[in-house]
Amino acid sequence: MDRNEVLNAFPSDEEFRAAPNYRKKEIVERLISAVLDQFDGEHRDPDRWEAEHIAAAIGYLLSDRYFAAAAAAVKALAPSSERAEPDTWARAADTVTARALRHGLEYATGKPARNA
């Protein structure tokens, strides 16, 4: 996965913090979508590490925790060499698919951002 390609599209920390909530939500939605696009480009589903962190990012997005959502999405980009116990994160039969994660993101995208 090309972590730099995804992160280069993300605004600076200062810009993200200054953005209104609706904009933060849009930024995080695009970040999660970019991660999912990486899986599509590699013609594969996420491994357990990636799937769990993207699922967490979508959950944080749904609860208006945009900083946590962004952090979880970025963690999903970590190469196996940077993960704790990398040999335990292989895909399993019950690992969520990229398609299911995209459906979750589409659901979250349809929800309005918190005003305050």
Query: Structural domain boundaries of the chain?
Result: 3-109
pLDDT at 78: 86
- Whole-structure pTM over 0.85, yes or no? yes
Low-confidence ranges of the chain (pLDDT < 50): none
pLDDT at 16: 93
d(CA 105, CA 42): 19
pLDDT at 80: 81
Q: Are 46 and 98 in contact (CB under 8 A)?
A: yes
Residue with tokens 């305050």: 116
d(CA 50, CA 57): 10
CA atoms within 13 A on the CB side of 33: 13
d(CA 102, CA 16): 23
